Structure formats: structure tokens, C-alpha cells
Amino acid sequence: MKEKYSPAAQNVLAYLLSHPYDRVSLLTHIPPQVKATLLGMYSRNDQPMRDTLLKTIVLVEFGLKKNSDYDALPAEGKEKTYQEYAKTLPSGLRESLKKKIIMLEMCLKNENNYDSVPEKLKEIISKKYADLLPSDEPPLYHLFDKKAAGFLEEWAIKHGHQSLKETAPVAYIVEGVSIITAKALEDDPLFHGQELSTRYKSFAKQKVQIPPTLAASPLREELEKYFTESLERYLYATHELNEYQEKAFQKPTELSLAGWKNVLTAETFDNARYYLNAGITTSLGIMEDARTLERKLRNILVFPFPETREVAHEIIEKAKIELSTLITHTQPNEYKMVTEKKLEKVLETVMVLERDDQREGSITMPESRVHLLHATPDLENRMIADILYGEGRHFYPWDHVYARVKAMTMSEKKGVLEQTFEKLGDHDEFLRQLNGTRMIFEMYPDFGAWRDIQRHRRSRQTFPLPTCDFGYDVPSLLKEAGLEQHYKEHQEKAREIFEQARKICPEEAIIIPTLGFRVKQVIDADMGEWLYIWRLRTTPKGHFSYRQLFIETFEHAKPYIPLLAEIVEKKGLITKGEFRHGRLVEEQRYEEKQKR
């Protein structure tokens, strides 16, 4: 991998990435705002960070804006840019100045004569002018780094002020890991990062890595063949969906050809992703503080998938480069692992009769994929009381406000809610007074949809593992394009191999189910978050899988919030109905802005 890059490019990468060719690497010597920008690129960029950094340097140097301009640039121009940048790096700058000083001291006019100067003589001259040469490291960089580390070690470690660790952020990248591991890394309420999107980029360059136990089993050869065919089926479906849409749908007259292509491609990826296996590789960029990283690492060190645990160890090793005195509590969370295993056994004992029924085939999947498990008692009255109580900058106790609200007429209560949402704008957050009441749902999204749903980190969600136990969804566009049988054969093959693999190693078999297979999850959120979810996730640009699920949660919620539900529908805080080409509105809006 390293040999792919020229020496100059290697020097640049070694300065910007702690381990340029490893799966886990730190972004180094880069300002925070630039780090954030680079990490954000993962959502729309399937290139390794190495290539992104090198490309960005060339684009900036030549004032280019488009990737096509970069591709058209001769390789010689790119290489010259890397060479010039390598000279400006601390080590490169030091060597460049050293060479010039020696040439002046020796009265050399031709750089070719420099090579003939004995190394010992070069060393003597270099020592003579050592004070004029810059440090190999950025000025004061390590001085301040050591001072900060000493301060944090004293207070965070010795005195137990863990919150000080929150002031020590680290930005890192994780590439070539399964979607399962990526979701485990994102499973924290304080996660900040971006992952390669199945909705906007082709996964044709990705692959499924077979874990060690399955790789050593008799099933290995069949797995290798299956995963190769799986990617071929994904590519075939992508091609067929594009072909079908180009013939079946007409471009809006006001939209450019490029914009229309973006719309169709997004729709294609939204449907084709159902072919991808849960073990398909992805990449992500993460920025988080030392305290969050420690907590998360302890949990993923006991995550029930070997690759995830391996990556956790790699992160610990690399993170200690920047946070050597702060990443200290990274032992596996034994409490979590042991307790959960014990409770699994208790569950089996409690559910023994139902388990026997299931073996006899008497338990069937529920017809509805959404179930309301719990709502705050007297939810709407309590919510209105929270709204009126506000920040509590008055003399009235909450229970007195609540009693008055219960005595109000429906018209008066509706008036309070109308005033609450009257001035709400598209970019305004909901009042936090809405966070005091909650609803909990059990849902059966497909794994691809759950991958998106999990991003709502202000809710509490269970973490399902991929399985074939709950069946799979069949997107309507696949049917229209004549791919239904092709798709179903693909899913049934996944089910067949999954059943074989789970007998060998259940922990590793989770790489096999496709994103089209359903999982079971519980999502617990306050009403402010539910309003946010309904407003964001039911818009036309939302993926059709979770759009329908969240519309169903709203319908289940309506009996408990009749006044609020009326306002939600009136103000367009939920978008019902079915939509095709959800990205169309976004493309039209973008092109309108470009014309101004």
C-alpha cells in the first residue's frame, strides 16, 4: 500500500497521519476546524483519507474546485506539489535549509556538487549553524503538549476530576471495518463523526472480511463465493435500477441533466443497498473527548463481535499517542458483560413456556411493525404543565401548575400549544420543556433503516445484531424494475448460509444477513425528540423505510396527544404519503440557489 505513493507524498502523509497505512490512524498537525471538515467528508467520500489529503493539497495549490479538474491534471504537476509541500514540513524544511547552508559555506553553485561533499563535513557544518536550523517538530508544540498533559494528569487522574478529560479532544479515522463495528463505534450519546453513506455512494469498492473462526471452518469456501456473488448482485441491481429509471421517469424541465442524474442515483442506492451484507466494509471519521472515548472503549471491548474488539484495542494504542496520560481507564467493562450474560439466562428461564411454543411453530411475527410500549401517564396535561412551568423563574410549584392545567378546558389547552409552536421556524429547536414526557416504541426496521435511526443519539435505543429471524423487506422499485425474483433469491441464499454459519459461530455469523433483513429494537425518546424525528425523518428526502415507520409511530401516538397531533399536522411537522425521488426537491433548491 505504501509503495503506491512517491517519497514526497509519503513524507506529507507521515506528517498529517500518525499511521497512514493502518486501519486506525490519528489526524495530526491539522487545525481543529480542518479536522472537522475532513472527518465530515466521510459521508460523501469513499476514498481513503490518504488520497483525500493529497488531493486537497493539489486542489488548493492550483485553485481547482472540481474532482474532474484534479483528474485532468498531469501526474507531474501533482508530484511537484507534493515535493514543494514536503520541503515546508518541519523535517523537510530543516533538511532544505541545511543543504543551502552547506552550499553557501562550501561556495557551491551547482546542487549536483552537493552530493560529492563528504557526510562528515556536512555534519560539521550543520553543527556550526545548528542554532539557525528549525526544530524537527513544530515550535513549542511538544512544550505545550507536555504542560497540558501534566496538568490533566494531576487533576484528572490523581484528584479524579474526570470532566477535565472532556477538554482533550482527539480526531481519528477508522477505515475498512464492517458496518457492524462502525455502528458500535457510533453507539454513544456524545458520538461526533461521519460514516460512508450507503445512500449517496456506491459500495462497489467495499468487501466483506470473513472473521477467524468462520475462515478456519469448512464453510469458508462457500462464504467467499457467496460474498463475491453478493457484491456482483449489488452491482447488477444498481445497473438495472439506473437503466429502468432512465426509461420510466421523465426529467423535470427546470432541472439540469446532472441534477436529474443525482436524483436517480440516490434512488438507486436507496434500493440497491438492500443487497449489501451487514459485514460490508465502511469508513468513518470521529472526533471525541478523552472521557467519552474511555467510556465507549470499555463497552466495545466486550462487544459480541471479534473485529469490533480488535479495533477497540487499535484505537487505544493509537489514541495514547495524543492522550497518553488520559486514556487510562480502558479495561473491558466486565460488569456489563457478566451481568448481561446472567440476565440472558434469567430471561430464558422466565420465558421457558413461550420458548417451547416457538419451537412448535405457534409464535408468529406481529402484523404491525410498530408497537407503543409506554407513554407518560396523562401525557398531554403534563406536557402543557411543563411548558407553562418553563424555567421555573416564578413562585409556583410544578404540582400547582399541573393541577391548574388539568382544570383547563380543551380550548384553553389548545391555545397554550398553539402559542408554543406559533413562531417555530424551520431551523429552530423545540423548547426543552417538551423533554419531560416520553414515549417508548418497539419497532422492526430493516437493518439498513436502523443504521440511520441509530443516529438519533438523544433517544435511548437498544442495539440489535443482524439476523434473518424476522424476515426481510422488498422495496417497491425493485419490483417495478423486474428485480423481485433476483432480490428474493439473494435474500434466501443469505438466510441459508446464515443458518449454517450460526451453528459454527453465532458471534461471527452476523456478517451475513443483508441490510434488507429486519431487526427488533426499542426506541425511548422524550416528546421534543419525537417531534424532531417526525419533522426530519418523514420529509420526502428521508429513506422510504424509516419514513413509513415513523409515520406509524405518530399514528400510534395520536390518541395520547390529540391536541398536539392536530398542531403537528397543521404546521407540517410531519409529512405523510409516499414519495418517489426524495432528493428531487433538494436538487431543485440547490440549482435555484446557484442561479441567484
How does pLDDT run across 482-534, given as a tens digit for each residue?
Answer: 999 999 999 999 999 999 999 999 999 999 999 999 999 999 999 999 999 99
Number of Cβ within 10 Å of residue 130's Cβ equals 9
Q: Rg (Cα) of the chain, in Å, rounded?
A: 29
Task: Give me the percent of the chain exceeding a pLDDT of 70.
Answer: 88
* pLDDT tops 60 at residue 292: yes
Q: Is 208 within a domain? A: no
Tell me the pLDDT tens digit for each residue of 448-469. Answer: 999 999 999 999 999 999 999 9
Instruction: Report the pLDDT value the prediction gives residue 147, as an integer from 0 to 100.
Output: 39
Q: Is 555 within a domain? A: yes
The whole-number average pLDDT for the span 176-198 is 94
Vertex 493, ends 488 and 497: CA angle to 5°? 150
Domain extent, residue 417, equals 372-442+521-595
Boundary-marking domain end, from 132, 157, 183: 132
Vertex 220, ends 216 and 226: CA angle to 5°? 160
Tell me the pLDDT tens digit for each residue of 403-452. Answer: 999 999 999 999 999 999 999 999 999 999 999 999 999 999 999 999 99
Boundary-marking domain end, from 109, 132, 155: 132
Q: Is 89 within a domain? A: yes
The whole-number average pLDDT for the span 139-159 is 45
Q: What whole-number distance in Å separates Cα of residue 546 and Cα of residue 551?
A: 8
* pLDDT tops 50 at residue 174: yes
The mean of the pLDDT values for the chain is 87
* pLDDT tops 70 at residue 150: no
Q: Is 509 within a domain? A: no
Q: Is 218 within a domain? A: no
Q: What's this model's pTM, rounded to 2 decimal places?
A: 0.82
Contact 438, 530 (CB under 8 A): no
* pLDDT tops 70 at residue 240: yes
DSSP per-residue letters across 488-552 = HHHHHHHHHHHHHHHHH-HHHHTTSSBTTBB--EEEEEEHHHHHHHHHHHTSTTS-HHHHHHHHH
Boundary-marking domain end, from 105, 132, 159: 132
The whole-number average pLDDT for the span 116-133 is 72
* pLDDT tops 80 at residue 95: no
Q: Is 169 within a domain? A: no
Q: Is 560 within a domain? A: yes
Q: Tally the domains of the chain.
A: 2
Tell me the pLDDT tens digit for each residue of 23-81. Answer: 999 888 776 556 766 777 787 788 899 998 888 888 887 888 777 888 888 889 899 88
Instruction: Report the pLDDT value the prediction gives residue 53, as an integer from 0 to 100.
Output: 87
Q: Which of 211, 267, 204, 210 is nearest to 230 (CA)?
A: 204
Tell me the pLDDT tens digit for each residue of 331-383. Answer: 999 999 999 999 999 999 998 877 666 655 555 667 789 999 999 999 999 99
> CA torsion sign, 87 to 92 to 93 to 96?
negative
* DSSP category for residue 365: -
